[in-house]
Amino acid sequence: MLGSSAGSRVAGVAWHCYGGTPSGQTTVHDAYPGKDAFFTECSGTESSNTANTFADSLRWQGSNLAIGAVRNWSRSVSLWNLALNAAHGPVKGSCTNCTGVVTVDGSNVTYNAEYYVLGHLSTFVKPGAVRTKLQVWDCTGGVKPPWTPA
């Protein structure tokens, strides 16, 4: 669409985390440098060993969203499911193990990994900030992200 006659009416591209890698944003940016990238949807999921969900989510989202999406030209990072109940709902569709930014169980609220990823980004990325070159080191104790940033 960006290369068609409609391209002049398109501000940019919205990206989700459900397929591909953040480096795809750089491929599109390089082809259409005047168009913006917006990372508009990602939901955490419960790990197969639920005791690892928080750590797994924090590691994956930190690497892929806080670093990956931003390093690959994204002007935003938004998470999908702000608040879910303890049964991962309400849900319409196939994501029965999605995690929200918070889990609400009666009057109890649990802040999930997504909350801390967003909190970290919002602490250090202020309105009007500009993208600069970012060097990434493997500081995960040998655990590498599932993709290599551009």
The pLDDT tens digits for 45-88 are 889 998 998 889 888 888 888 888 988 999 888 888 899 999 88
Residues making up the chain, counted from first to last: 150
In a domain, 57, yes or no: yes
Percent of the chain whose predicted confidence (pLDDT) is above 70: 87
What is the domain range of residue 120?
7-44+51-81+113-124
In a domain, 107, yes or no: no
Strands 83-85 and 36-41, bridge-based pairing? unpaired
In a domain, 2, yes or no: no
In a domain, 94, yes or no: no
Task: Give the count of domains, the chain.
Answer: 1
Higher pLDDT, 32 or 130: 32
Residues near 83 by Cβ (< 8 Å), separated by ≥ 6? 100, 101, 102, 103, 104
From the CA atom positions of the chain, what is the Rg in Å?
17
Is the separation of the CB atoms in 135 and 122 below 8 Å?
no
Q: What's the Cα-to-Cα distance from 102 to each of 30, 49, 80, 117, rounded to whole Å?
A: 36, 19, 11, 12
Residue 150 has pLDDT above 50, yes or no: no
In a domain, 129, yes or no: no
pLDDT value, residue 66: 84
**pLDDT tens digits along 11-39:** 999 999 888 889 999 999 999 999 999 99
In a domain, 120, yes or no: yes
Grade residue 137 by pLDDT with cuts at 50, 70 and 90.
low
Residues near 97 by Cβ (< 8 Å), separated by ≥ 6? 45, 46, 88
In a domain, 106, yes or no: no
Q: Give the pTM.
A: 0.75
